[in-house]
Amino acid sequence: MILEGNIEETIMDLPDKSVHCIVTSPPYFRQRNYHFEDQIGMESSPEEYIKRLATLSLQFYRVLRDDGCMWWVHGDNYAGGSQIVPPGEKRITEPFGLPKKNMLFFPERMMMALQDVGWIVRQRGIWHKPNVFPDSAKDRLTIDYEPFFLLSKQPKYYFDPDAIAVPAKFTKGLMPPIGGKKHQKIGGERYKGNRVMARPTRRLRSVVSIPVAQYKEMHSAGFPEDLARIFILSGSSHMGVCPACAAPYMRIVEQSHVVTRSGRKRDQPKEHRKDHPRGHRHSSAVVIRRTKGWAPMCHCDAGEPMPATIFDPFLGRGTTALVAKGHGRSWIGGEGSPEYIDMVKKNLAGVEIVEEDTALRPQVQQLSFT
Ligand SMILES: C[S@@+](CC[C@H](N)C(=O)[O-])C[C@H]1O[C@@H](n2cnc3c(N)ncnc32)[C@H](O)[C@@H]1O
């Protein structure tokens, strides 16, 4: 469902506590003109912009379930940097009173404003962009990332790390669980000789490397589908929610520990291996997690679960809606630009539902500095 028009008004139609997860990237301050009245981002000052978004976030807070979470992508810019000046307004030469070339810390200021109105800012993540163009500044490094944030209403909220787990680094030479017998079958995982035939995974880390999307439409502010996928799969239940009270179904996970076989540490230089006090042998624990099933978090016993609801108040080209639909979630989006609303409708027509929930694409990579 698309809420068409200024989100500050259209959001009033949404009932309290009716969405499970919010995924969004707001318009940035004076960076793009979306060509409609009431658009956010064209305020007279950056302080006014932050206050407007923080006030609007109280409506996001109202519509989000108490066990829900919100993912928020927000980039920064510089004092004296490029700026779209709305008609009748002046160029702001010293935003926040800061002279030219200063970082403005918009993401941090925004998060602190959200904390002030009651949100818990749970995490900062970094979206590393491996395919950025070198930027024009010659006196600093090229910027190749954008921060994103995870927020919640309460300390305890729904989060499914297993839905976005990635393959563990050490998958070779695994031995059966500590104290276990070789060739045994534990937790449904099979062993062949000393090798575990299961795929150990690890929790996704907070720096993810995802290429900037080259969407065919002219809406260049769209975030990549793989980023939205991380947010949607972890922030909402793949099994769905109770049809009576909308409480999410939780994943039931069985966990077994295995140790890697002693052997050479592959990423150490040869000389180092020789000098190592215990020779060149090592072992480390790896955890294998397997989904056993799903269970409702309520006692309603109301029958088949229904899809969780994802909400993006700033839909743009519809990335959040496309990914939500593809993973069998319901979605609600707000958008003020008639042009983008048409684009979302067109884009949604071709989306097919992906069956599996652990569907992170290979191009989502963890950064490795070793
Ligand atoms: C940064 S873009 C979102 C991009 C989106 N994440 C995507 O992947 O395409 C911000 C969007 O917010 C919309 N917008 C700006 N002010 C708005 C308002 N007051 N009400 C509703 N939509 C608004 C703009 O038209 C723009 O499409």
Distance 88 CA to ligand 1 centre (A): 22
Coil, strand or helix at 174: strand
Distance 251 CA to ligand 1 centre (A): 33
* 369 touches 344 (CB < 8 A): no
> pTM of the prediction?
0.86
Are both 255 and 269 inside the same structural domain? yes
Q: How many CB atoms are located within 10 Å of the residue 338 CB?
A: 12
Residues shown for the chain:
370
Q: What is the pLDDT of residues 265-277, one digit of tens each?
A: 444 455 554 555 4
Distance 39 CA to ligand 1 centre (A): 8
Task: List helix spans (H) across 11-146.
Answer: 46-63, 106-116
Q: What is the pLDDT of residues 243-272, one digit of tens each?
A: 999 999 999 998 876 655 544 444 445 555
Distance 224 CA to ligand 1 centre (A): 15
Q: What is the pLDDT of residues 143-192, one digit of tens each?
A: 999 999 999 999 999 999 999 988 776 555 554 444 445 444 444 444 55
CATH of the domain at 329: 3.40.50.150
In degrees rounded to 5, what are phi and psi of residue 105? 55, 40
Are both 317 and 219 inside the same structural domain? yes
Q: Whose CA is nearest to atom 10 of ligand 1?
A: 27
C-alpha 43/C-alpha 40 separation (Å) is 7
Answer with the one of 266, 295, 324 that is the final residue of a domain: 295
Q: What is the tally of structural domains in the chain?
A: 2
> Is 176 near ligand 1, meaning CB less than 6 Å away?
no
Are both 266 and 314 inside the same structural domain? no
Atom of ligand 1 nearest to the CA of 7: 20
Atom of ligand 1 nearest to the CA of 6: 20
> Is 95 near ligand 1, meaning CB less than 6 Å away?
no
Are both 180 and 155 inside the same structural domain? no
Q: E strands along the chain, which residues?
A: 2-4, 19-24, 64-73, 120-128, 145-152, 166-167, 191-192, 195-196, 201-202, 207-209, 249-259, 285-296, 309-312, 330-335, 365-366
| Type of residue numbered 226 | D
Atom of ligand 1 nearest to the CA of 28: 1
